Structure 1
Amino acid sequence: MSQKKVFVVLLAVSSVSLLLHRGGHLIWTMKVFRLDCPSLQVHPSPKPKHTSIAFLKTHKTASSTVQNLLFRFAERHNLTVALPYQSCDHQFCYPRPFSARFVHPHTVPPRIITNHMRFNLSELRRVMPNDTLYVTILREPASMFESLFSYYNQYCQAFRHVPNGSLEAFLADPWRYYRPDEKDSMYARNTLTFDLGGDKDHAPSDGDYVSSFIAGIERVFSLVMIAEHFDESLVLLRRLLSWDLEDVLYVKLNMRTSGSKQNLSNELPAQIRDWNALDSRLYDHFNASLWRQLDALGPECVAREVELLRAARDRVVRGCFGGQLPQLRPATQIKNKELRPWQPSSKVDIVGYDLPPNASRPEAGAGRGPTTSASS
């Protein structure tokens, strides 16, 4: 995607946020939690909201949703967000390891950093404050790889070599098509491991390497979210940052149509997990870790928080879309060109929403607050 289009999209998202925020904070009648859930109150603690955050935006994991939550939070609280030099496009010169020199000087010193990068802790510490909290998100490797294969089919050389763009053909003999040093090879094997700064081609049988890599992530990242349990992850994120409920409301964008997705049946998921064995170890470890944290808070308390989040989200969205939940539309049917999602290729259909004509004039009493974000 070109630099110009990226910033046009970001401008559109910011404009929508401003429209939906007009008039102040979100107002609604909140349900009351029982006293045995003190950590999950609508305002979780008297502590001030945490504002120093480094979010490692991984690929095809719903990370754009989290990114736009952070963009919106920064906008509301007048926080500086680190942005890359124009020569890095909309990413911090990915797939090169992150360097402090990739950050545009007009966005220094930042409080939040969230664009795609390959993780490099020492360089991030040169840019970010000492109290920065590190967060990232993972996705189940089989569904993630299917999405990567579909999305980057025209860009990743390993995928372009496959006859008829067949995922089955690639998985039957991946070393026939995959070259570790080839352009965009990071999309074709252990993408999560690569994004987190690891060696995507390290032998998964090397248990010491895998254990050390996972332990390093645990030491640095205060929270590893899981895409399949996104709302539950937001419960933990909100608690970690001492944020309000309205700070984590969202609407999904950047989604593929069902016709652009391949159903994974029979042996395909196992083949994908075997080919992406390092990512599979990462995901399984941190998925289990997420549920240990949720269990420690109490399943009933978490369930009530998730229910409240979803109800509040739907109420605000209805207020912003004329009382109805928004309908997904193909990009060609979205009248506002600035809100049309980018189409990676003719084989992939990304759908989005069109704002109603009166979006800038909310009805009296309609819910107002943050809604717009995106999901990879």
Structure 2
Amino acid sequence: MKVKIYLGMLWYCLLTLVTVKDKKNHPFQLTGADFGQASVTSNHSAASRRDLFLLKTHKTGSSTLQNILARYAWENKLFVGLPAGSILFRSYHRGKPFSIQELQSASRCFNMMFHHMVFKRNEVNSFLSCMSQMRPTGEDNKSRVEMRIWNCVRRTKVSLALPQDAIFVTILRDPATLFRSAFKYFRDVSLPFRRAKDVGLDGFLRAPNAYFKGPEDGGYWWLAKNGMFYDLGFDNMNESTEYVKRSIRLIDETFQLVIITEYFDIGILLLKEIMHWTVKDVVYVTMNARKHGANGRSREAPQLSQKIYNWNKADTALYHYFNASFWNRVKEFGEEKLKSELKELQFWKRYYRESCFEDDMIPNERVTDEIFRMFSPNELSIMQYQLRNSAKNNRTCIGMILPEHQWWRMMSYRQRIVSNSDWRLLDGMLWDII
């Protein structure tokens, strides 16, 4: 792969020399009147915030949110804290808390982090505090800054840190619909769900303790009980009222924004507001959407939803609390402003969907180009957009449907191989080889 990278860089150098006099014919120049003027993430103001931490949660729309952030980071030359080795931190599948030792090393501080983890507040704070040492003041010279960086690196064993004023974001979903989705999506990955494969969700909920054994169930065991609560760093087996309330209070103190899946568009506009971005910065198409049957979404009896709530008391309390606080944030945002920006967001979503993609989504097993094929842990079909022929060389369109593992791959190469001065060269080469 490294040989391919270096050959690609050599080829791109030669191509650049040939085409330098005719930049308008660059193969990735945006096409069309609007595409020719700006990419989705241009035109942000100098006041735009760049530093953000997203805690991904399962089956909540977090992959779509991650894609928005990945595109923004790429276009704006931001460094991203990446898991070493793969798109997941090594310990995550066992349900172990995040450790800074699992991050890829890099040559500079990073601005964003947006992956699945079992959140560990103290561990994250330990490298957040390093950022103040890594940014020079007006009185500093280069050697003094490098010494402070070295002291921080020696203490944390990584050369990375998020800024102390980074915005912390996560996303939650109604446990009733989330648990239904998780049961189907992770039925071959999480042992409690696999045990109940023959009896289905209703059978699992009739006697959940017959199928759920707790941490001894191995990989992804916590997805079968209060999965969101666990990912946020708390004991999913402790559902006492006092413990859950105290945990929610700590979450509220840590995360500046908790998006609610059912109101995703409103949530990303709140994110846009906090980050001082534009509406076009948060345009998206849905990622990792599961295919539903001919009758649309399943409609289990309301009693089944109540059983899910009863089995996931901590997740239910978490969702109810942050659903209420979410609408308080919306009220502060302003009704008229929200209506106006929702209208603008819908316009750009429709514009890019019609300009970039075929009219109908297709199941992931029918995607012929493996670069765009979304991962599915079992036989479930994941519905995906496919590029129009006219958009197959358009970075904006490609980026909107590029799966997480491809973003990880591109960012890994960009951040580990070249210096800042080479980024423009590497960008073109990476887009060519994916």
TM range (shorter): 0.7 to 0.9
> Alpha-carbon deviations, 1:97-138, whole Å to 9, x = none?
111111011375211001111111222231311121100000
Which structure's residues are more often helix, by fraction? 2
Matched, 1:143 2:177: yes
| Distance (whole Å) between structure 1 residues aligned to residue 203 and residue 337 of structure 2 | 46
Bigger-Rg structure (1/2): 2
| Distance (whole Å) between structure 1 residues aligned to residue 237 and residue 121 of structure 2 | 21
Range moving further from structure 2, 278-287 or 18-27: 18-27
- 2:106 aligns with 106
Q: 1:147 to 1:211 in 2, by over 3 A?
A: same
| Distance (whole Å) between structure 1 residues aligned to residue 56 and residue 370 of structure 2 | 26
Q: 1:59 to 1:233 in 2, by over 3 A?
A: same
Report if the CA contact (8 A) 2:365-2:381 is conserved.
no
Q: 1:274 to 1:373 in 2, by over 3 A?
A: farther
Q: What SS does the aligned partner of 2:177 have? A: helix
- 1:298 aligns with 334
One of 304, 313, 316 as aligned partner of 2:352: 316
Report if the CA contact (8 A) 2:81-2:103 is conserved.
yes
| Distance (whole Å) between structure 2 residues aligned to residue 128 and residue 49 of structure 1 | 16
Report if the CA contact (8 A) 1:246-1:370 is conserved.
no
Residue type matched to 2:226 in 1? N
Q: What SS does the aligned partner of 1:137 have? A: strand
Q: 1:163 to 1:237 in 2, by over 3 A?
A: closer
State the identity %: 30
Report if the CA contact (8 A) 1:84-1:91 is conserved.
yes
> Alpha-carbon deviations, 1:18-49, whole Å to 9, x = none?
6769745248xxxxxxxxxxxxxx989x6611
- 1:359 aligns with 391
Q: 1:167 to 1:108 in 2, by over 3 A?
A: farther
Q: What SS does the aligned partner of 1:200 have? A: coil
| Distance (whole Å) between structure 2 residues aligned to residue 178 and residue 166 of structure 1 | 14
Q: 1:176 to 1:241 in 2, by over 3 A?
A: same
Return the TM-score normalized by structure 2: 0.71
- 1:30 aligns with none
> Alpha-carbon deviations, 1:253-277, whole Å to 9, x = none?
2111112964322310000011001
- 2:142 aligns with none
Q: Which has the higher contact order (CA 8 A, sep 6+)?
A: 1
> Could you tell me how far 1:51 is from its partner in structure 2?
0.6
| Distance (whole Å) between structure 2 residues aligned to residue 120 and residue 368 of structure 1 | 35
**How do 1:322-361 and structure 2 match up within 5 A?**
326-346=359-379, 348-360=380-392
Residue type matched to 2:262 in 1? E
> Could you tell me how far 1:332 is from its partner in structure 2?
3.1
Q: 1:316 to 1:239 in 2, by over 3 A?
A: same
Report if the CA contact (8 A) 1:255-1:350 is conserved.
yes
One of 246, 270, 290 as aligned partner of 1:212: 246
The alignment yields a C-alpha RMSD, in angstroms, of 2.6
One of 176, 183, 198 as aligned partner of 1:164: 198
Q: What SS does the aligned partner of 2:281 have? A: helix
Q: Name structure 2 gaps, 5 residues minimum.
A: 1-27, 128-160, 405-434
| Distance (whole Å) between structure 2 residues aligned to residue 224 and residue 343 of structure 1 | 26
Return the TM-score normalized by structure 1: 0.82
Q: What SS does the aligned partner of 1:124 have? A: helix
Query: In the comparison of the two structures, how many residue pairs are matched?
Result: 332
